[in-house]
Structure 1
Amino acid sequence: MAAIAAVTAAAAYACTNLATLDLSSGSGAPGMSFTATGSSFTPSAPVVLHWNSLTGPVLANIHASSSGALTATAKVPSTALPGDYVVVATQTIKGQPAFGTPARATFQVVGPGGATAGGAQNGAPATNPLASVATSSSSGVSGGLLAATIILAVLGISLFGFGAAGYVRQRRKSEVPVPAPVKKQK
């Protein structure tokens, strides 16, 4: 019975929505305004939009609605150089990152005439903007989720193996030997 409860809880956990973040525009010049919309945040809790990292410059402070949705207007930092960046929405509940956060959306800063950066320079964006925004390992969410997935996979394979072995054993017990035909002697 405990195994059923554990499997049910794990399935419910795995089906939980992660927070999402969308931007009204995927590119623009420094100083440009954009609208960020999101969903599946912890309802009625504060959310902070950061520029290019979990702890980057704050673009906006907002509260998620009672349904966990958010809408905010923010501006591309005027000091941003042309290149690829990421807008990060963080949410902290009782000192810990809220489940399913941070949410991320990419943004490309363009220079005059739509020019983009060819390479990283001092103060320029990271080569891979998402690499600098990994979920904090101190929350244990990603490691815990991986461990739960591995445990469930091993449990599922084991249950399948035991079920298959039981089926084979039952089939062998139910087989009735058929007597060989008797030859008549002449």
Structure 2
Amino acid sequence: MSGARADRLAGWRATRAALNVATVADAAAVVATAGEPRKSAEVASVATVANENAGLGDDMAARVAFYVTASERALEALAAPDADLAAERAEIQAAREAEARGEYPIKPEAEHRAHLAALRLSGLQRPPAWSDVTWAPPPGAWCGCCGRHTPQSGGRWWREAKEPTGWRCWACHPPVHLATDNIHEVRT
């Protein structure tokens, strides 16, 4: 981690701890040296002494310790390199370079067809309910809530026959409150 970034992150940690202390004097005690990172136990002990003197008890010390610990965990997560992100960036860069050379990566036919099938399938996913009555579910539409385990099976949708308010998935929102002649049903 670069020195400037480490200084910014340490300053952020100190500021975060200072925001959760009762008084300006307590904040000054927690952040005695600007940018110097403190450990949770050290901040908690400073806050405990300050709170006891101010008559606030251990509650404030516990809050300060919690936030400082959370800050430390956030810093550790930010410091660790993200392998997935690095691989994605490398793949994007390679594709851009190939495109600049006039080369276009071609996937194997089976992989290409699998991606197309998944794209078509995801295009037929619908929410469990929507209010636009003119947007009827197309053939093959499936519910993103109850159909997520077997999306290829299509679905069963309904709306009111008179004065419709929107489409609903039959499994997620069954029309038990309506008579069968008051329901318009579509099977996909």
TM class by shorter chain equals under 0.3
Higher relative contact order (CA 8 A, sep 6+): 1
Q: TM-score, normalised by structure 1?
A: 0.25
Q: Which has the larger radius of gyration?
A: 2
**TM superposition score normalised by structure 2:** 0.24
Higher strand content, 1 or 2: 1
Q: Determine which structure has the larger helix proportion and give its number.
A: 2
